[in-house]
Chains A and B, each alone.
Chain A
Amino acid sequence: MAAIASPQPTLLALDRIAKQFGGVRAVDGLTLTVDRGELRCLIGPNGAGKSTIFKLIMGAEQPTAGTIRFDGRVINRWPTWRRAREGLSIKMQIPGVYPELTVRDNMRVAAQNHIPMGSMEDETYRLLARVGLEHAGEELTKNLSHGQQQWLEIGMALSASPQMLLLDEPTAGMGPGETEETARLVQSLNAEGTTIVVIEHDMAFVRRVARNVTVLHLGRVFAEGTIAEIEANERVTDIYLGRT
């Protein structure tokens, strides 16, 4: 009987996950583990199954085979809302904000399951300030720029103080300045201890933030390693150029 073990290093473990849409295997026996405190980038050509993996992790889709473990527990059968309450947050590819609600109401909707009512005002302010939107609280969200909507959504995902944050293309549609700020935000969140998995196409961004990179191809892990190792791997270049 060992003393109570320190938390396992592995936070998320996908074990031989498959997802089939009709005849298409979007994910095909994929095994992937993410440790606590990691900042992992998922890259891969279109159709590699990146977004599908996020959907499987959040429970928007059910895997046809395999198990998903989060924090040591099998979560395959958990509904999405329970996964969210147990510490999984996502920023979606298509902005997942509520365009018809004000910025502050957006934040409140995201935060109120996790933050006591008494400190709601202060907390929403703090979160909005974190993503640079503290002065836009009364604005309807649809009037924000695309980049600001992305940040708002990151702030909303943060309000749950998640153990793991899934970011699906956080810099899509952003200019270089906004991309840089996003990179800084992602890094500082990670430095505070949030485990982050990022799907990103922008290699400059990946180079900037990631320590570990996983390359997906045809629904499987194609290569894994540091950014330097991945960039040195010619087979990775090949799949991007369609040579396999």
Chain B
Amino acid sequence: MLARIASEVRPVLDGVFNAFYQYQDSFAFLVLSAIGLAVIFGMMGVINLAHGELMMLGAYITVGAARSGVPLPLAMLVAGAAVGLIGAIMEVLIVRRLYGRLLDSVAATWAVGLILSQGMLILTGPSIQGVASPLGSFRVGNTSYSWYRLLLGAVALALLVALYLLFMRTRFGLRARATIQNPEIARALGVDTARMYTVTFALGSALAGLAGGLYAPTATVVPFFGTNFMVEAFVTVIVGGANVLVGSPLAAALLGAINAFLAQTWGLYIARVGLLVTTIIVIRVLPRGMSGLVDRWRLRPTGAR
């Protein structure tokens, strides 16, 4: 009797686990793709179109370090730090000159991205030997799952929590929020906003580099590695809106569900089209994305006094 119940419940549980696994995989992919872009946009209003190429650099550095003997997790952190430094240089040399010319900063970072990917193509050729996906796999029911993909889900959540703590619980975070709210007043209160922007851009770039490193073992590392993440990064930021801490996770939660469902049912390409269509509908209904929705809810009229 028990055995019969078990044999009937088992496939259902397997299905539930499969859905959970696909969902957390999509969620992690969206969060990790977007997080660096979202930090920079939320803080500075700048869209860094070299974001994908910074992820690509992160992947290259990770692979390079790992292949020369650095343990893989450490290699990823090294990639994050190195790309963060590159981001800081980019901010000082280019982005800083274009404050107040947001469209021009989009065009300029786009040109930087082009130079980075084409330059990498010239330097290293069409692809390099990658690193194997670590941690192996496990089975639930008849399906095999990757431990590493589960780990990425956990890392995505951990990064979101870390960002929350950074922005809400540290003095850096306080200064950053003051700068977002009103740069002039923040300056008047003694915040070095120019340095805040450099640090933010470096932080966003470091997150991009780290994310690139994290996904390096899962894909072939090529100069156009970054384009794999761009659609997901863009739609998450568009749907999320300006508030990274609230908007991005909510956007990833919504889009992750749609993506996982469509990818399971009709495949990856339709899922991408679905992401885009969802995004276009969302912007019509919620111009400032999830952030705007949360604001509206939080700031709704409080009724009679």
Contacts and interface: CB of A to CB of B under 8 A. Distances in A.
A64 B301 CA distance: 8
A81 interface: no
Contacts of A21: 299
A23 B298 CA distance: 9
Interface in B37-55: none
B68 interface: no
Contacts of A20: 299, 301
A22 interface: yes
A80 B302 CA distance: 28
Q: Give the interface size bracket for A toward B.
A: under 10
Interface string B275-305: 0000000000000000000000011011000
Nearest to B305: A25
Contacts of B302: 23
Contacts of B299: 20-23
Interface string A18-56: 001111000000000000000000000000000000000
A17 B299 CA distance: 18
Q: Main SS of chain B's interface residues?
A: loop
Which one of A22, A23, A64 has the highest number of Cβ atoms from chain B below 10 Å of its Cβ? Answer: A22
B100 to A, nearest CB: 13
Interface in B7-25: none
Contacts of A64: 301
Contacts of A22: 298-299
Contacts of B298: 22
Nearest to B295: A22
Interface in B251-266: none
Interface in B139-170: none
B63 to A, nearest CB: 48
Interface string A123-154: 00000000000000000000000000000000
Contacts of B301: 20, 64
A22 B300 CA distance: 6
A64 B296 CA distance: 13
Nearest to A23: B302
A80 to B, nearest CB: 16
A239 to B, nearest CB: 20
Interface string B95-124: 000000000000000000000000000000
B296 to A, nearest CB: 10
Interface in A137-188: none
A69 B130 CA distance: 69
A22 to B, nearest CB: 4
A25 to B, nearest CB: 9
A21 B302 CA distance: 11
A225 to B, nearest CB: 29
A21 B298 CA distance: 11
Contacts of A23: 299, 302
Nearest to A64: B301
Nearest to A18: B301
A20 B302 CA distance: 10
B168 to A, nearest CB: 19
Nearest to A28: B305
Nearest to B302: A23
Nearest to B298: A22
A22 B298 CA distance: 8
A125 B302 CA distance: 52
Interface string A49-75: 000000000000000100000000000
B186 to A, nearest CB: 20
Nearest to B296: A22
A23 B302 CA distance: 7
B187 to A, nearest CB: 19
Interface of A: 20-23, 64
Given A20-B301, A23-B302, 6 more contacts: A20-B299, A21-B299, A22-B298, A22-B299, A23-B299, A64-B301
Nearest 8 interchain pairs by C-beta: A22-B299, A20-B301, A64-B301, A23-B302, A23-B299, A21-B299, A22-B298, A20-B299
8 contacts: A20-B299, A20-B301, A21-B299, A22-B298, A22-B299, A23-B299, A23-B302, A64-B301
